Amino acid sequence: MLGGLAQSGGRAHGACMVTSLQAQGVASIGGPGQVLDDATVRRFVRARLAAEDLDGRSVCVLVPDATRSCPLPLLLSAVHDALDGRATNVTVLIALGTHAPMTGDGLRKHLGGVYSARNHEWDNPEALVRLGSVSPDRVAELSEGRLRESVDVVVNRAVVEHDVCLVVGPVFPHEVVGFSGGNKYFFPGVAGPEIIDFSHWLGALITSAEIIGTRGITPVRALIDQAAALIPSRRLALTLVVESGTGALHAAAFGPPEAAWAAAADVSAQAHVQYLDAPVQRVLSVVPTKYGDMWTGAKGFYKVEPIVADGGQVIVYAPHITRISAMHPEIERIGYHCRDYFVKQWDRFAGEHWGVLAHSTHLRGAGTWDPVRGERNRVTVTLATGIPEDVVRAANLDYLDPAAVDLDAFAATADGDGDTLVVPQAGEVLFRLR
């Protein structure tokens, strides 16, 4: 069943917000339109961790990979200063989900040299531990009737082998859960394959265009929070709102993951969402090099899908991307399709990784399928990348030679006709219609 999606209402402001956050054990600094200096951030992190009972405790610090903008060197340096001489052991775990592992100079630059780190190993059973399961009835309740089957809650062993788990990561509009961050660093960040697939497919059933940038507890967020409640270690979170394109911080919140995430998401909803008065016919999304394949570079599509007119086009411009997926080659066989292509032919696709099917829908967008007329998609998706033309077309996407893309000409057209939008550094800011 494909039901509606409940959304939360307006945002809290001023003294009411401060009182609410304090009641939930959350401390916060900054806000939309602000930029925090490094010294202020350091003081905040040190003060918050100094107030926690961490003496003699082991701490697992969960951090994002390089596909998320985040000033990790600054933050981990402050965490180190606050925990040095107090924590018995500190392990930094990169919440990869199913992304490619980080190594070498890129990893050292990402962390800033204060700590070494482990990559999450989602496909290594020896690195994982089962915490329990969510029952079919509970899944049906959380998913608003979209799914009814049990799901095993499996997570990286490091999470349960430490006394405290500290999430350090940003919050952005997200295509699966509404807004990223918080308990999402556990599930799917350092989770086993079943719950990764399950949560992503639940989001795909709702559709990216509907769930992305939705405030409040979406069905996927509810499932993630339910799974996180089974973690025996104490959970804390330093959630961040990062200025897209610079890595500077607008805001930070600290406390239990659920409440710290909610505080940061309120700010992200103002800092990371841009509104247009009318749809456009064509978008050129210029994807930054931090996205190394189309699995991650697809953010250049779904962050702009909501503002493209029916029959319009999104050109994903990323000459540096030469492959569809480093970790999931099966997407080339399956191709990119709308949700109903899979749902209405479920016998064909139920045995595939549901996370791969979800990714397929994310880059294809809204559409319909029936056995007579086939697939009809709302917008055209064109890749102007280093991926060979035959691979792109075989995956059910349109191809454009990136050498034929004149960025200056696109910018001039966008200034003149109102029907074209050029998005530099695409992938973090969500575009919506008023």
Burial 140-150 (b: 16+ CB within 10 A, else e): eebbbebbeee
Residue 6's pLDDT band (boundaries 50, 70, 90)? very low
Task: Please check the confidence at residue 110 and state whether its pLDDT lies above 70.
Answer: yes
- Interval 100-110 mean pLDDT: 88
Question: Of the residues 226, 253, 271, which one is the last residue of a structural domain?
Answer: 271
Question: Of the residues 271, 290, 310, which one is the last residue of a structural domain?
Answer: 271
- Structure letter (DSSP) for residue 196: H
**Beta strand segments in 10-126, E:** 27-30, 58-63, 89-94, 118-119
Residue 1 maps to a domain: no
258 with 222, same domain: the answer is yes
- Structure letter (DSSP) for residue 191: B
- Residue 43 CA neighbour count, 13 Å, CB half: 6
Radius of gyration of the chain (CA): 21
Task: Please check the confidence at residue 421 and state whether its pLDDT lies above 70.
Answer: yes
Tell me whether strands 58-63 and 367-370 are parallel, antiparallel or unpaired: unpaired
- What is the percent of the chain where pLDDT is above 90? 85
pLDDT at 155 (0 to 100): 98
| Listed range (11-15, 244-248, 347-351, 426-430) with the worst mean pLDDT | 11-15
319 with 235, same domain: the answer is no
Q: How far apart are CA 23 and CA 262, in angstroms?
A: 13
Residue 125 maps to a domain: yes
Q: How far apart are CA 252 and CA 238, in angstroms?
A: 7
User: Coil, strand, or helix at residue 56?
Assistant: coil
Per the document, the length of the chain is 434
Residue 9 maps to a domain: no
17: amino acid identity, one letter: M
157 with 293, same domain: the answer is no
- Structure letter (DSSP) for residue 397: -
pTM of the model: 0.92
pLDDT at 376 (0 to 100): 97
pLDDT at 4 (0 to 100): 30
| Domain encompassing residue 298 | 275-433
Residue 20's pLDDT band (boundaries 50, 70, 90)? low
- Interval 338-346 mean pLDDT: 98
pLDDT in tens, 163-178: 999 999 999 999 999 9
Task: Please check the confidence at residue 416 and state whether its pLDDT lies above 90.
Answer: no
User: Coil, strand, or helix at residue 124?
Assistant: coil
The single residue listed with the structure tokens 């339109």 is 33
